[in-house]
Amino acid sequence: MTNTLLQDWTTPFGIPPFADISDEDFKPAFEASLRTARAAIEEIANASEVPTFANTIEALEQADAELSKVLGAFYALAGADTNDARNALMREFSPALAAYGSDITRNEKLFERIDDLWTRKDALGLTDEQERVLMLTRRGFVRAGAQLKGAAADRLAEIKERLAVLGTSFTQNLLKDEADWFMDLQENDLEGLPDFVVAAARAAGTERGAAGPVVTLSRSLIVPFLQFSSRRDLRQRAFEAWAARGANGGETDNRGIATEILALREERAKLLGYSSFADFKLETEMAGNPGAVRDLLMQVWEPAKAAADADAVILEAMLHQDGVNDSLAPWDWRYYSEKRRQAEFDLDEAELKPYFQLDRMIDAAFDCATRLFGLTFTPLEAESYHPDVRMWEVTRGRKHLAVFIGDYFARPSKRSGAWCSAMRSQQRLAGDIRPIVVNVCNFAKPADGEPALLSYDDARTLFHEFGHALHQMLSDVTYERISGTSVARDFVELPSQLYEHWLDVPDVLKTYATHAKTGEPIPEALLERLMAASTYDTGFQTVEYVASALVDLAFHDGAAPADPIEYQAKVLADLQMPAAITMRHATPHFAHVFAGDGYSSGYYSYMWSEVMDADAFEAFEEAGGPFDPAMAKKLEQHILSAGGSQEADELYVAFRGRMPGVDALLKGRGLAAA
């Protein structure tokens, strides 16, 4: 019987034929494609010919093409629509992939060929892009331990495999906690909640098979519940469940996993000759070292904390006015902040939300890309992995550029948060390969027949992830190693955070923020109030984020803590963290940091990129406005299409002419000194 995953796909643009793929196909396809990749690596390493860029580096680039094809389909499902079988496969695949990676970097003959090319690079007639790929390949081998021998090399391989297992377990524990918990609501518990929250709670109850409406741990439902519920007891119960994800004891508890991960990361760094994991991790980032990261975060922390402390005094007074003789608590902040926002800006989320329909915000994101980069988005009729998923062909002129997939609604089978991934990345080495790009979000799904309504923050998330998608779709390089978002971690958020700015462009909102029932555009007065409130509560938002980034950095900049929860508390105490604000991601559910190495020592990167995105949008404003064609061309040429073909600071300077300072960020967040 043929395995669909190992066949040539005749679907439009090579989209995985999900309807023909069963969970039983994945393991044999994975094992077969892994064998093929291993055989290709051995052939490269043992070649008798003198090493050339083509027979070594380019061959390496293509060695695991079949494996990447299989995993592209698998991980799309494992993140966005998982089940017990897929979870089990993830636990099996993770250590096998880690072992495969270790075997490659430990292959002495292979590294000798790469090292030989590096010593002769000036005589090879390489293009700039080829020299960059050679450098990255060699550096990756060295950082993976290619120069280690004997017991040290064996131990590093063991650490990598164990970290892969732990990261997968951390993710699956978190998903299970999020999927299992919900709080039943009686009809009188709904009193005072806006219609959109009630509708989302009823839809969630139906999806969970509950007798009535429920609150789940999906951010798109629990946050508005915390904003609007007047029931302090229910807010507390919901918030404490949300904060306790990954720390509930039993099989899904992540605290021990976090402890082991941190210890193994420290050991890994020491084996490679670094004083700490942060030093190891940040060596290849724009920041360069932990001190630069801490300096940036503290420049923002002080004004943000001052703003949050001032806000807390006001919100606690409101709590007391309601007859509650208690201190302001984390489950109170959003509720009283929303009441204050309504009072100060006459801005009611319930009044605002009908103007932010999901379909209209998708149209807005597409239209901005059309005006900036000449892109066209045409709906595709193709079978995907879930009925909620939508697809578009992306073209410019008559040229096919990409397939874009949008998976927007929360469901128990989907991990929390929002992300962009590529089932297939752009490259030209194996032909003109165009990407298949996926945006995954967790917006509240409406009842049948009702429009999906977003909060303004949800709309920003949609634009953010679409900025990542543009980075993938507009990529124009030869080698997949430097394609799309394959850039420094503290640069990768620049395109996404920059794209958020176009949501705030007045004519974009006037065109696409139309009322779900009347179709009328957002009133000028409401738009003005929305813009006036754009920096409202940024003290809270900045504190919860920067606290998380500082804890992440502290975990990795020095000896691994024996008790991460205790150490987290110490870091926050030293910062004098406001009592009514918690970390955006506390340790047991800090998936950015513990689900894998991606954002470990790197959660700061959102803020590092924000320094650039604030400055980059100012470049448009200083030119001809948000849709200035010359600036759009420079943005595409030097950042969106360039991938990792140069160092990140070189790319930014080519676009802007200089590196930015923190001033534009503080101004944009309303935290600059008066």
pLDDT at residue 350, as a whole number: 85
- Please answer whether residues 619 and 658 qualify as being in contact, where contact means their C-beta atoms are separated by less than 8 angstroms: no
pLDDT at residue 245, as a whole number: 97
How does residue 674 score in pLDDT terms, banded at 50, 70 and 90? very low
Which CA distances in Å does 136 have to 163, 272, 421, 487, 488? 23, 17, 21, 11, 12
pLDDT at residue 661, as a whole number: 87
Q: Which amino acid is at 366?
A: F
Which tokens sit at 55? 């027979």
Taking only the tens place, the pLDDT of each residue in 189-198 is 999 899 999 9
Q: Which secondary-structure segment (H or E) carries 216?
A: strand 214-216
Q: Which secondary-structure segment (H or E) carries 568?
A: helix 564-575
DSSP string spanning 147-163? T--HHHHHHHHHHHHHH
Cα separation, 617 vs 463, whole angstroms: 15
CA torsion sign, 137 to 284 to 144 to 487? negative
Cα separation, 502 vs 674, whole angstroms: 26
> For residue 299, which phi and psi values (nearest 5 degrees)?
-60, -30
pLDDT at residue 598, as a whole number: 87
The closest of 126, 113, 97, 116 to 42, measured between CA atoms, is 113
First-residue to last-residue Cα distance in the chain: 71
Cα separation, 479 vs 499, whole angstroms: 25
> Which structural domains are found in the chain, ordered by start?
4-105+107-144 (1.20.1050.40), 254-329+538-602 (1.10.1370.10), 346-534 (1.10.1370.40)
Chain-centroid distance of CA 504 in Å reads 21
Cα torsion through 470, 474, 475, 478, rounded to 10: 160
The closest of 106, 109, 145, 132 to 53, measured between CA atoms, is 132
Angle at 614 between CA 612 and CA 620, to 5 degrees: 100
Tell me the percentage of the chain whose pLDDT exceeds 70: 100
Cα separation, 527 vs 549, whole angstroms: 33
The closest of 657, 671, 543, 650 to 128, measured between CA atoms, is 650
- Please answer whether residues 553 and 293 qualify as being in contact, where contact means their C-beta atoms are separated by less than 8 angstroms: yes
Q: Average pLDDT in the 547-556 region?
A: 98
DSSP string spanning 194-213? -HHHHHHHHHHHHHHT-SS-
Q: Which amino acid is at 459?
A: A
DSSP string spanning 67-112? HHHHHHHHHHHHHHS--HHHHHHHHHHHHHHHHHHHHHHT-HHHHH
pLDDT at residue 673, as a whole number: 60
Which CA distances in Å does 165 have to 25, 148, 214, 595, 603? 22, 23, 33, 10, 21
Which tokens sit at 645? 């073909």
> What is the residue-averaged pLDDT of the chain?
96
pLDDT at residue 480, as a whole number: 97
pLDDT at residue 77, as a whole number: 94
When computed from its CA atoms, the radius of gyration of the chain, rounded to whole angstroms, is: 25
> For residue 406, which phi and psi values (nearest 5 degrees)?
-115, 125
- Please answer whether residues 29 and 6 qualify as being in contact, where contact means their C-beta atoms are separated by less than 8 angstroms: yes
Question: 122 Cβ partners below 8 Å, 6+ apart?
Answer: none
The closest of 293, 311, 306, 303 to 551, measured between CA atoms, is 293
Q: Which secondary-structure segment (H or E) carries 514?
A: none
Taking only the tens place, the pLDDT of each residue in 142-201 is 999 999 999 999 999 999 999 999 999 999 999 999 999 999 999 999 998 999 999 999
Per-residue burial over 275-299, b if 16 or more Cβ lie within 10 Å, else e, is: ebbbbbbbebbbbeebebbbebbeb
Taking only the tens place, the pLDDT of each residue in 221-263 is 999 999 999 999 999 999 999 999 999 999 999 999 999 999 9
Annotated catalytic sites, by residue?
465
How does residue 1 score in pLDDT terms, banded at 50, 70 and 90? low
Q: Which amino acid is at 173?
A: N
Taking only the tens place, the pLDDT of each residue in 611-625 is 999 999 999 999 999
Pairing of strands 436-443, 399-409: parallel
Question: 131 Cβ partners below 8 Å, 6+ apart?
Answer: 121
Q: Average pLDDT in the 284-313 region?
A: 96
pTM: 0.93
Label each residue of 485-507 as H, E or C. CCCCHHHHHHHHHHHHHHHCCHH
Which tokens sit at 577? 């963290």
How does residue 84 score in pLDDT terms, banded at 50, 70 and 90? very high
Taking only the tens place, the pLDDT of each residue in 24-49 is 999 999 999 999 999 999 999 999 99
